[in-house]
Structure 1
Amino acid sequence: MEQRLKQIKTASAVGIIGNTALALVKVVLGFLAGSLAVVGDGVDSATDVLSFIIIFFALKIMAKEPDEEHSYGHYRAEALATLFIAFMILFAGVQLLIFALTKIVTAAANPVPSPLAVVVSFVSIGGKLLLALYQFKTGRKTESAMLIANGRNMLADLYVSVGVLLGTFATITLRIPVIDHLVAMFIAVWIIWTAVRIFLEANTELMDGVKDTSIYQAVFDAVDQVENVANPHRTRIRKLANLYLIDLHIEVDGTLTVAEGHRLAMEVEHVLRQKIDNLYDVAVHVEPLGNMEKEKYGLSPQKLTD
């Protein structure tokens, strides 16, 4: 886990430096070129900088040891940080949308952007592509929702920069200022949609859910490998950052001693740790064969296939 946090921290530092440079270039030169679309692209890059700063704070919290108030540790700070990033991106998108709409109302008084805006867009595309690929690579390697969220955001930025390039070129060629403002509106809507997607994914973890439900079948397949253990049920899986917590019930011969039932439960845990990557904790409840308690929570192989 310490190595993972170090990799995320390094990726965040690269993101802060790269996006700060891009944001400054696009905002300053966008104003000089008279292109609202380029300025909006720069504002989007500035939100990326704030996102990575949030990640740094989250990493500090995640590195803390479990305590009396947080017996599972502090890994949920990653999901909370991702959620905060989503709200911040949403705010930036809404502000840009309002600004672009205001400009469209007074489009006739706005000048055509200079060719400098096209050059800035080319620089933005190259820089964003390199940053997005690096964030995705590190995010997938460390299974970091924060980095993957930022990678997706920067990939969206790449598409946005391409749109800015095309829109700016069309504005200059056709000498119609409103095209630049319409592109800025498109950027704003894209930013808002990106924020909604990030929010929904972070919300899954905060609601004790898992996005990839195939892990349940992996758990049932692993339990099937343990002899004298039957009917894994009331299985519940949660995530803490990239770590899994698994609770499940199993059935064993009711004539076994407590010690023998415990041994089988330990075998189940051992097999799960072998088969499931990033397994943080397992809780196995032992019941006698044929137990007919009504299940209210969790999944069983039968419920998974229904």
Structure 2
Amino acid sequence: MSETPVKVIQKATWVGSIANVGLAVLKITVGKLTGSQALVADGVHSFSDLVTDTAILIGSRYWTAPADKGHPYGHGRFETLTNIFIGVLLAFVGLGIGWDSISSLGHDSTTKPGMLAFVAALTSILVKEVLYRWTLIQAKRINSRALHANAWHHRSDALSSLPVAVAVIANLFFPDLHYLDQVAALIVTAMILKAAFEILWPALLELTEAEADNELEDKIQSYAESDPDIREVHAIRSRRTGSTILLDFHLLVDPSMSVDHAHTISENFKSHILKQIDEVVDVIIHIEPYTCAERVINPCCEDKQCD
């Protein structure tokens, strides 16, 4: 039996949490042993990922719950709030790395961590990159934006380990180029902030009731044109709630058609949309007669109806 979305989310998050704890302990321990403050700081960053993991483990129980009397449109906005939390935390992590890098510019590093620190940093990069790719696959599998956001948090941890590895190699081969660590960290900062923006912006648009999908209207019109019983579809509106989309529009049919027949056409059309577009979970259709008063796409002429 296939796993439910909440089970997939929790499994992926628990795997990430265990990896985060292991990597944090490894980096902090090696950092203390080798005198690498950068590696210690990177280990603390790994522990910060546990905060987002906890948010997802708690939040997923709510946003995957079915609609009820208190939340007739479902609980998808809990996922939106979780995405905002992850995006904000990710932005603070990026800004923190950037601030530390700018603050240390011009200061020569007296620490020479050695290859043990490099191995620890490289291990973190590899493990977190694998986690990023695997978590992204799970996110796409169940269409979870929160899990997608957490996947990027894994990648941010991999990127934050990069300056540590660069600093070690730089000390070995270019002992005079002390600024390479800071430059690499600033590049990482830009990448993390970009990821944070890509997580935050869609979530903020969702809270402001922005259109869910720019291409959705074209898809609906295309489906309508292939149905001979549908004369016109207009006033298409969509909004996103978490990883799902709610849709409504007006559907015009022959005015001489019976109510029962028109209802059957709308129900069949609704079923077709739900089958073709996975993200759409509910469709409200307002049936109207194909008359001059209701037509929008193909309006009537001034003096007579133009078919």
* TM superposition score category, shorter chain reference: 0.7 to 0.9
Deviation by residue 1:190-243 (Cα, 9 ceiling, x = unmatched)? 322321221113224333346653333322222233332122111112233332
Q: Find the counterpart in structure 2 of residue 120 from structure 1.
A: 120
Which secondary structure state, in structure 1, belongs to the residue aligned with residue 105 of structure 2?
helix
Q: Which stretch of the first structure deviates more once superposed, 30-39 or 91-100?
A: 30-39
Tell me if structure 2 keeps the 8 A contact 1:232–1:251.
yes
RMSD, aligned α-carbons:
2.8
Offset at 1:42?
A: 3.0
Q: Find the counterpart in structure 2 of residue 29 from structure 1.
A: 30
For 2:230 and 2:79, the matched residues in 1 are separated by: 36
For 2:110 and 2:244, the matched residues in 1 are separated by: 53
Q: Which amino acid aligns with 1:169?
A: I
Tell me if structure 2 keeps the 8 A contact 1:37–1:168.
no
Q: Which amino acid aligns with 1:118?
A: F
Does 1:132 pair with 2:132? Answer: yes
The structure where helix makes up a greater share of residues is 1
For 1:294 and 1:92, the matched residues in 2 are separated by: 53
Offset at 1:3?
A: 0.5
Offset at 1:131?
A: 0.9
For 1:124 and 1:21, the matched residues in 2 are separated by: 10
Tell me if structure 2 keeps the 8 A contact 1:171–1:179.
no
TM-score by length of 1: 0.84
How many residue pairs were aligned?
296
In structure 2, the CA distance between the partners of 1:68 and 1:168, relative to structure 1 (3 Å rule), is: same
Query: Relative CO higher for 1 or 2, CA cutoff 8 Å, sep ≥ 6?
Result: 1
Q: What is the percentage of aligned positions where both structures have the same residue?
A: 26
For 2:9 and 2:78, the matched residues in 1 are separated by: 14
Offset at 1:11?
A: 0.5
Q: Which stretch of the first structure deviates more once superposed, 28-37 or 196-205?
A: 28-37
Q: Which stretch of the first structure deviates more once superposed, 283-292 or 204-213?
A: 204-213
Which secondary structure state, in structure 1, belongs to the residue aligned with residue 21 of structure 2?
helix
For 1:12 and 1:181, the matched residues in 2 are separated by: 31
Q: Find the counterpart in structure 2 of residue 150 from structure 1.
A: 150
Tell me if structure 1 keeps the 8 A contact 2:248–2:285.
yes
Deviation by residue 1:36-86 (Cα, 9 ceiling, x = unmatched)? 443443344333222111101111212444333311121221111011101
TM-score by length of 2: 0.84
Q: Which amino acid aligns with 1:111?
A: T
Q: Find the counterpart in structure 2 of residue 241 from structure 1.
A: 242
For 2:157 and 2:109, the matched residues in 1 are separated by: 28
Tell me if structure 2 keeps the 8 A contact 1:251–1:287.
yes
Tell me if structure 2 keeps the 8 A contact 1:25–1:120.
yes
The unaligned stretches of length 5 or more in structure 1 are 302-306
Deviation by residue 1:245-264 (Cα, 9 ceiling, x = unmatched)? 11011111223343333232
Deviation by residue 1:68-126 (Cα, 9 ceiling, x = unmatched)? 33111212211110111011111222223223333335x24743333322111221122
Q: Find the counterpart in structure 1 of residue 99 from structure 2.
A: 98
Tell me if structure 1 keeps the 8 A contact 2:213–2:238.
no
Q: Which amino acid aligns with 1:174?
A: F
In structure 2, the CA distance between the partners of 1:39 and 1:155, relative to structure 1 (3 Å rule), is: same
In structure 2, the CA distance between the partners of 1:201 and 1:35, relative to structure 1 (3 Å rule), is: farther
